[in-house]
Amino acid sequence: MKKAIVVISFGTSHEDTRKKTIEAIERGIAEEFKDHEVFRAFTSKIIIKKLRERDNLIVPTVQELMEQLVEDGYTDVIIQPTHIINGIENDNMLEDLSPYVKKFSSIRIGKPLLSDTEDYKQLVSCIVEENHVGEKEAILLMGHGTSHHANAVYPAVDYTFRAEGYSNIYMATVEGYPTLDDAMGLMEKNEYKKVLLIPFMIVAGDHAKNDMAGDEEDSWKSVLEKEGYEVDCKLQGLGELRVVQDMFIRHIREAE
């Protein structure tokens, strides 16, 4: 019996955040499941191509890796995505996996990071413990957002902060709902002087470095500064947090 765990990520071309997030998640899984071989696959073909051409770093697609596992005689496979939500990337991953379901004795698939209320509460509690701000200060999280119905996770997490008693923490997304304008509309009702911006993404890559913390006039930092806020940016991906790494380990244990 040959056992494998496949950790599937969207990927990032930023080596600094990859080492702190994706690689840290993979290391934690390898330490926890010593009887399994741990493999990496990315879903972004653009990032895979960039890493190959720029860094000579070869990361397989999901299909390439599954073909390799079949060829190498692996019998029992667990798939664990590092996606935050059950969105487009997760749907595409499941589609890519479907031809291989019957090629192994057993194949189980773990859930993305935020898949139920327990996940929401655990992550909310972690974010609160990791980030302390003073009076008249707010925390604004930058989520990716999507047109997929799974975007509902973002307002659900926003609500969870309120329900848990943290009314100074807000969620907004780059490509979904709530938007930055939505969050600023709520923040205006309070007399905040300072805002701490944090990426609500596994890696602190392009979106975090440019769309959130960049110096361009349309970055979230610049927009908030124009509104009179003092702004700090924390370039830390969720994947750096031990609690998040442990959540993925729990999802592997619960995989069906």
Binding positions for Co(2+): 144, 175, 207
**Nearest C-alpha neighbor of 87 from the set 194, 171, 175, 164:** 175
Q: How many CB atoms lie within 10 A of CB 188?
A: 10
Q: How many Å apart are CA 177 and CA 145, to the nearest integer?
A: 7
Order of strands, sheet of 76-81, starting from the edge strand that comes earlier in the sequence: 37-42, 3-9, 76-81, 106-109
Q: Compute CA 4 distance to the chain's CA centroid, rounded to the nearest angstrom.
A: 22
Catalytic residue among 14, 144, 148, 149: 144
**Nearest C-alpha neighbor of 154 from the set 238, 85, 209, 204:** 85
Q: How many Å apart are CA 37 and CA 29, to the nearest integer?
A: 10
Token pair for residue 63?
A: 């299909």
Q: Give, to the nearest 10 degrees, the angle between helix 88-97 and helix 62-71.
A: 30
SS3 sequence of 87-141? CHHHHHHHHHHHHHHHHCCEEEECCCCCCCHHHHHHHHHHHHHHCCCCCCEEEEE
DSSP-based three-state secondary structure for 3: strand
Task: Tell me, yes or no, if 144 is annotated catalytic.
Answer: yes
Q: How many Å apart are CA 56 and CA 84, to the nearest integer?
A: 28
Q: How many CB atoms lie within 10 A of CB 123?
A: 21
Active site residues: 144
